[in-house]
Every structure is written in C-alpha cells, then in structure tokens.
Structure 1
C-alpha cells in the first residue's frame, strides 16, 4: 500500500477515535491525546457523580487518617510490642491510600478499565489489612516478606486462591455464630471480584472489537 494511502487511512482512523482533535503530522502527540481524552471525559454528564466522588473521598480520607495516626507510635517507640502490627498497618494503609488516589484520577479522566486493574490489587491489600487486624501474628510474617521470594511465599500462604476470603468467613462466623450470615456477608463483600478479574483479563479487550 502506498505511503500516501496509509497516511490518509491513519488520519481517518484518528478522526473516528478522537473526533474534534487536530491531527499532527507524523502522528498525534501523546500529550494532546491525553489532554483531549481528559476534556472529553469531563464533558460527560454522569448521574450523581459529585455525590459518589464525595462519598469516595470520605472513604479515602479514612485511610489517610489511619496512615498519619500510625506514624507517631513508630517514631516514638521503635521497640514496642506492637511494632510489627503498626508497621504493617502503616505500609498497607499508605499503599491503599495512594491506590485510591490513582483510581480517583483515572475514573475522572475516563480510564475506568485501568482503574479496575489497580482496584483489583487494592482489594487484596485491604484483605491483608483486615487479616492482620483480625490476627496480629500475621504482621510479623508480613514484615519479614522483604524480598521477592519471601513475598511470593507470603502471597501463596495467605492470599492466593481465595484464602483471605475463607479466613474472614471463619472469623466472622466465630463472631456471629451463624454460618449462613457469615457466608452472606463475605459474598456481599466480594460480589464485584469477578468484574475486576474480567477487566484485567486479555480476553476482555476482545469485546471492544466485536461487530
């Protein structure tokens, strides 16, 4: 195919993909594509978006407050009996807070699929946080997982194949004394996990190209 024809078809494809955006010789500049995508997303009128963002910000601010409150004990007493617990909760809360900020920015810029990919790992971090709160002994093993091999061992021992969900079911069941209620609560907590998993799967992209 002639270069002129290729350039013409590229311009047509570009107009369909980013309508209203000027085409630059040699291809569109990434900066301008990103700016255009952000502007296009901001024009979308989503139902009660401001309300949901306010609720989300309240939730995010809680993790920020937790991370701030945990820094002081670690500074004042590095050898207290809750050192591993406080250190684990601090690391996880800071990571979760950072992820939530990134998810917020991506969603407002229209990158909801990318936000779901980050959210999937954020949910796992929240699960580990809950597990450590329920069983503080896990915190020492978490802090000891300071290299790739130990981190992988920790993940397979406590996280992989739904282990955290099963762990939480047993703990909730012991508190409620009602297995059905515990199962229902955990199912409600994890009902969106399949959506998050699908969003990160390569086959999910195929839907975009179906006729």
Structure 2
C-alpha cells in the first residue's frame, strides 16, 4: 500500500521538477484539513435556537425510524425467516436511516443545499417504502433492482413520471375512512403534501444559479457578518425548512398504516410480528408514530408557525408550500 508519507514525498518531487521547492509539511494552496476543522468548530459554536429546536424534532423522527428498523433487525439476528417483504423493508429503511444521519451532519456543518440534494433522494425512498407497505408484492419488484441496469429499469417502470406518487395516492385513498368527496379530497391533499417540495429539491439537485446562491449565502436570522463564504460551511436557520420538508415526507409512514407491522400484515410476513410491550422498539413504533404525527401536523398550523419557524425574509420561500 502507498503510504501517506510516500505520497507527500512524491508530490514534493513533482513540484521540485517544476521549479518549486516545498519543505516537509508544506504545500501550495489552502490547507484543506485546517479549513474543514475550522468550519466544523465555527458551526458548533454558532448559536441558532430555531435550528436547535428543529434538530430536536429531527432526532425524534430519526429515532423512530431506527426503532422501526430495529423491529426487523431483531428478527434477523435471531435467524428468523424473512421473505421478500421483510428484506425490502429492512434494506429501504437502512438507506433512509443512512441518508437521514448524513442529512443531519450536513445541516449541522452548514451545508444545507447539499442536505436538500440528498433529501430529494431520501424522499423518494420514503415513497417507495410507503408503496411497499401498502402493496407487499411490490417488495419483490424492488429486490430485482440489484444492478445498475435493473435499478434503471425499476426507476423507469415504477418511479419516474409520477408513477411512485400514484402508488402513494393509492395508499392514502385506502387510509381514508369514508367515501365522501371530502374524504377523497383530504386523502389527495395529504398524498401531495410531501411532494409539494419535489420541484424545489430537484432544482437544487440539478445545476442552477439559485442552488449556487443558496450554497454561498444560506439565509439566517442573524447574519454572521464575517469574511466567510457559505460554501465552506455555514450553519443557518434556513435549515428549519429542510427538516420540515423531511417531516412532511415522513408523515405517510407514520399515519397511512398505523398498525404496521404488528397487525394486518401476517399474510405478507414470513412470520407474524406480534406486539410485545416488553420490547422498547415495539413500544416506540406503536406509540411514537402518534406522537410524531401530532407534532408534524401541528407544525403546519398558522397559529403555531410563528413559534417554530425563524422569521426570515425570503419572499415567501420559507414555509411557502403550506
């Protein structure tokens, strides 16, 4: 293996051949390690009460997802049989959890635009998870996407051009308790709630001037006034909306199938998962979904918005999807 010291020696030799002598430990350009370390220290020292509030909410949501995954992980460790349904659920949850932890890191280090870029993908995984729970045979289709070619085919057949959104709408229609026009309208509204930000997230994912400007200067209640550019990492209140978008996309997982996985899924599971109040993950999944569902709904109420959303002048951008 090439060692770090050997690489540094080679780099100095290359510069020397070009007439530039570098001493040991010297380099041309910015010392990236120092920049990154200072950026992280600066972010940690920056006090943003609004964002601290939203990170607490975010941690509650992520903790619930970890418990849901834990329900299936316990069975895996015990060597219990797992069919396509359980395998797909565990794998999708693993990706959502990994993305969610990454988003948290990015927000707290001050890379909100990068966090939203990742959130665009995470939201799609959440939609697929809702679709699998609502239609367990769909799990087998997901498990076929185990190569680049098959992943592309899965996306083309089941995700693109609103295909996955239609599955989410079907899940919400099944959730509606009545068959009145009002019930249908409510189901459609909730089905479209998280998707309201798809265009915005996509505009940040694909090259655009707006994405660059938000990266360089993320909005915050109290501008720092330093000679510091946002693309080096600038923790900002603007990330409150990022967490809200995450919450809106998580909401269907909490509400649409409220008894999942303990009731109503025996036919889909290789073995039923009876609710056991002695298991913490079981308790958290069963009751935590109601706590989180109530919290997320309350965040969208106009009377509550001024207490949780930072007062940013973004010409209607912040909280604009309500």
Q: Confirm or deny a common fold (TM above 0.5).
A: yes
Q: How many equivalent residue pairs?
A: 183
8 Å contact from structure 2 (residues 145, 154) kept in 1: yes
Q: From the superposition, tell whether residues 148 and 43 of structure 1 become closer, same or farther in structure 2 (CA, over 3 Å).
A: same
8 Å contact from structure 2 (residues 203, 211) kept in 1: no
8 Å contact from structure 2 (residues 113, 211) kept in 1: no
Q: Are residues 1:196 and 2:198 paired?
A: no
Query: What does residue 44 of structure 2 align with?
Result: 42
From the two aligned structures, give the one with the greater helix fraction. Answer: 1
Q: Are residues 1:76 and 2:85 paired?
A: no
8 Å contact from structure 1 (residues 66, 90) kept in 2: no
Query: What does residue 21 of structure 1 align with?
Result: none
8 Å contact from structure 1 (residues 120, 197) kept in 2: yes
Other structure's SS at 1:136 match: coil
Structure 1: gaps (5+ residues): 1-23
Describe the superposition over 1:70-123 as per-residue Cα deviations: whole angstroms up to 9, x where unpaired.
123334233x5xx11111010111111111111101100001011111111111
8 Å contact from structure 2 (residues 130, 171) kept in 1: no
1:59 Cα deviation after fit: 0.6
1:41 Cα deviation after fit: 2.7
TM-score (norm 1): 0.78
TM-score (norm 2): 0.53
Query: What does residue 182 of structure 1 align with?
Result: 187
Q: Which moved more, 1:132-141 or 1:176-185?
A: 176-185
Q: Which moved more, 1:94-103 or 1:46-55?
A: 46-55
1:36 Cα deviation after fit: 2.1
8 Å contact from structure 1 (residues 128, 164) kept in 2: yes
Q: From the superposition, tell whether residues 205 and 185 of structure 1 become closer, same or farther in structure 2 (CA, over 3 Å).
A: closer
1:205 Cα deviation after fit: 4.2
Structure 2: gaps (5+ residues): 1-25, 217-322
Query: What does residue 225 of structure 2 align with?
Result: none
Which of the numbers 60, 66, 75 marks the counterpart of 2:62?
Answer: 60
8 Å contact from structure 2 (residues 172, 187) kept in 1: yes
Aligned ranges 1:1-211 → 2 under 5 Å:
26-74=28-76, 75-78=78-81, 83-176=83-176, 177=179, 178-203=183-208, 204-205=210-211, 207=213
8 Å contact from structure 2 (residues 96, 126) kept in 1: yes
Query: What does residue 219 of structure 2 align with?
Result: none
Other structure's SS at 2:201 match: helix
